[in-house]
Amino acid sequence: MRKFKRIISILGLGLLTVLMFTACGRNNNSSQSSSSSKNTTKTNKSSSNKNGRTLIVYFSLSGTTKEAAEYIQKETKADIVRLRPEKAYGDYDSAARRGDRERRNNIHPALATNIPNFEKYQTVLIGYPTWWQRPTMIIHTLFDKYNFSGKTVIPFTTSMSTPIGPSQKVIRQLAEQDGATFKKEFVTTIIDLK
């Protein structure tokens, strides 16, 4: 646990720096562009996010990503929301089988979680465990359901061995397709859980 805390502490300081730069930069942009190709079932976004609030949204199966998200929340005082699928993943073996099937078939599992007032957030930190060098497919559902246009997206991940690079590319693509600004300055790879 000592190594886990040390890694998160170092990265937490990097996050605070990113959030400060994001806050300074957003005041120079008085209007946000909206994407005309967005699905109408997405949550509406306001034309301007003047208050610049920060949201941490994460998915966690074993609790490791939850610990990382809660640590970041403690350090930043950002709002936090845990993503939950409509159908629970179950134990590790059944989650691995289901996760692999979702990945191979591009299945975006339904979300049980609703994020109230999503439009009020300017910066969204997205946390997830890395499965097969990718974010879990529930992260795709997050982008399906909510409009990220004009927001800043910062990913963080937990993994026993995989660095963030491959999954970060997926998050970047999802963010940019949605009209969001992608920032990669905050990176979390948890190597030692205990």
Model pTM score: 0.71
Q: Of 84, 54, 83, 56, give the one whose Cα is nearest residue 70.
A: 56
Structure token pair of residue 110: 């339904």
Dihedral sign (CA 15, 17, 18, 23): positive
CATH architecture for segment(s) 2-27+50-182: 3-Layer(aba) Sandwich (3.40)
Q: What is the DSSP letter of 119?
A: G
Going residue by residue through the chain, which has 194 residues, state the pLDDT in tens, using 9 for 90 and above. Answer: 444 443 443 344 444 434 433 333 333 333 333 333 333 233 333 333 334 699 999 999 889 999 999 999 999 999 999 999 999 998 888 898 998 899 989 999 999 999 999 999 999 999 999 888 788 899 999 999 999 999 999 999 888 776 777 788 899 999 999 999 999 755 444 444 43
C-alpha distances (whole Å) from 60 to each of 18, 23, 56, 127, 182 are: 23, 27, 13, 8, 22
Point out which residues pair with 130 in neighbouring strands: 135
Q: Where are the alpha helices (DSSP H) in 77-164?
A: 92-104, 137-145
